[in-house]
Amino acid sequence: MSEPRAPIRVGISCGDLNGVGLEVILKCFEDNRMHADITPILYCSAKVVSQHRKLLGLDEVQFHRVNDAREALPRKFNLVNLWEEEVEIDLGKPSGAMAKYAITSLEAAAQDLASGKVDVLVTAPIDKNSMQVAGFAFPGHTEFLQQMAGGDGEVLMLLVGDGLRVGCVTGHIPLKDVSAAITTEKIMAKARILHQSLLRDFAVLEPRIALLGLNPHAGDGGTLGNEDKERIAPAVRRLNEEGIKAMGPYAADGFFGNGSYKHFDGVLAMYHDQGLAPFKALSFGHGVNFTAGLPIVRTSPDHGTGLDIAGQGVAEKGSFRAAVWLAADILQNRERYKVITENPLQPQKREKERKEG
């Protein structure tokens, strides 16, 4: 009989200290059942977390303070204390001065992920403008982690929830630049990442991927634009030639409106709001943002800093909790996928040697 698996060590960056990040983290781990299979390790300051507990009336949430993630206790809510100075919390206010602590937390958690002190990373929301003011040299978490992981290839932002997995060919770029950014090669690159992620991260045996059209009615045969027939349709054909089950392009409104999305394992949208607007309409509050294509596992809740509601005690924990569980699930799926694909002939070889010996 095999030994039970050790709890998965989940590193957690604190995000914007003036937002709802620490609120949803505390609410999540207020429930001790969350510790059954994981060891949460928050990167922050004991003083700051205690301030948030008091401000939000969450004094019952206990944490184990450590100076290094290696000291974390299994199945307890652990906190790596990163700084001792007093921090003036001003909930609901964007602040570059506060963002420097979000950077400190993210860098420490990512470093421990790289060195194996934690197994996966869950990032609380950041305020991108405040991060830039504080000197953060990246557009967001994804680009930072991509560099930390040593990768310079494509990655894919993937929103996951309620059976939906929606990725985007283009990310945080102005709408006026989307058409020029979409090429057959870029579509195929993103579709390959989605296909591989469905196999490795989500244990889907034969993934079916839908590609959305760029224009209304998927171009209506060229009447409403040629991108669909000249760039997206060729990508679909070539992906099928590679053995990837891709279909489309589909008119986005009807695709979600008539429930066609339920027949696919993954959906590839052409731009940010085309994919995220319907996803959040269907799954907001318990959806998860996952970065596919990285060698490490990173998830985050599907909401932002929530500055408009910070300090009111009304932030929902569902999305953050789902991000924790999804990170753990993906790690285990990757471990199983590695065993299955490492050398599929090896078990047969050992059986043959056993019989002959």
Residues 217 and 302 in one domain: no
- What are the beta bridge partners of residue 245? 208
Phi-psi region of 322 (alpha: psi -120 to 50; beta: other; left: phi over 0): alpha
CA distance 241 to 161: 30
Residues 131 and 47 in one domain: yes
The answer to whether residues 284 and 298 belong to one domain is no
My answer on whether 326 and 253 are in the same domain is: no
What pLDDT band is residue 138 in, cutting at 50, 70 and 90? Answer: confident
pLDDT tens-digit map of 297-345: 999 999 999 999 999 999 999 999 999 999 999 999 999 999 988 865 5
Q: Which residue has the tokens 């919390």?
A: 89
Cβ-proximal residues to 16 (8 Å cutoff; 6+ apart), any chain: 94, 98, 99, 102, 124, 125, 126, 127, 130, 305, 307
Token pair 């990512």: residue: 110
Express as a percent the part of the chain with pLDDT over 70: 94
235, 263, 289: which is the final residue of a domain?
Answer: 289
Geometric angle at alpha carbon 336, from 334 and 338, rounded to 5°: 70
pLDDT cut 90: percent of the chain above it: 76
CA nearest 192: which of 243, 141, 148?
A: 243
Give residue-wise pLDDT tens across range 102-126: 999 999 999 999 999 999 999 999 9
Say which CATH number the domain at 228 has. Answer: 3.40.718.10
What are the DSSP E strand ranges found in 147-283? 156-161, 164-168, 208-212, 245-250, 266-269
In this structure, what token pair is assigned to residue 60? 């019952």
**Number of structural domains the chain divides into:** 2
Burial of 96 (0-12, 13-18, 19+ CB in 10 A): middle
**pLDDT tens digits for range 4-36:** 678 999 999 999 999 999 999 999 999 888 988
Residues 300 and 179 in one domain: no
Whether residue 147 is found in the same domain as residue 9: yes
Two tokens, residue 356: 């002959």
Of 7-16, 69-78, 348-357, which range is least confident? 348-357
| Amino acid (1-letter code) at residue 95 | S
Q: 31 and 45: one domain? A: yes
The size of the chain, in residues, is 357
- Are 199 and 160 in contact by the 8 Å Cβ rule? The answer is no
Q: Tell me the chain's radius of gyration from C-alpha atoms.
A: 22
Is pLDDT at 62 greater than 50 in this prediction?
yes
Predicted TM-score (pTM) of the model is: 0.90
Provide the residue range defining the domain that includes 247: 153-289
- Give the distance between the most distant pair of CA atoms in the chain: 73
Of 233, 267, 289, the residue at which a domain comes to its end is: 289
CB-based contact 136:103 (threshold 8 Å): yes
* In a shared domain, residues 61 and 159: no
**pLDDT in the model for residue 335:** 94
56 plus 198 within the same structural domain = no
Do 8 and 129 sit in the same domain of this protein?
A: yes
Contact 10, 34 (CB under 8 A): no
Assess whether 119 and 61 both reside in one domain: yes
Please report the pLDDT score of residue 352 as a whole number. Answer: 54
Question: Residue 78's pLDDT band (boundaries 50, 70, 90)?
Answer: very high
Q: In what order do the strands lie in the sheet with 78-81?
A: 64-66, 78-81, 38-44, 8-13, 120-123, 298-301, 288-292, 156-161, 164-168, 266-269, 208-212, 245-250
Do residues 300 and 16 touch, judged by C-beta distance below 8 A? no
pLDDT at 171 over 80: yes
Q: Is residue 148 pLDDT above 90, yes or no?
A: no
Q: How many helices (H) and strands (E) does the chain have?
A: 13, 12
pLDDT of residue 1: 43
pLDDT value for 346: 56
CA distance linking residue 161 with residue 71, whole number of Å: 33
List the single range of 25-39, 41-55, 141-155, 171-185 with lowest mean pLDDT.
Answer: 141-155
Kind of pairing between the strands at 164-168 and 266-269: parallel
DSSP letters along 100-162, please?
A: HHHHHHHHHHHHHHHHTSSSEEEE----HHHHHHTT--SSSHHHHHHHHTT--S--EEEEEET
Taking the C-alpha atoms of residue 18 and residue 33, their distance in angstroms, rounded to an integer, is 27
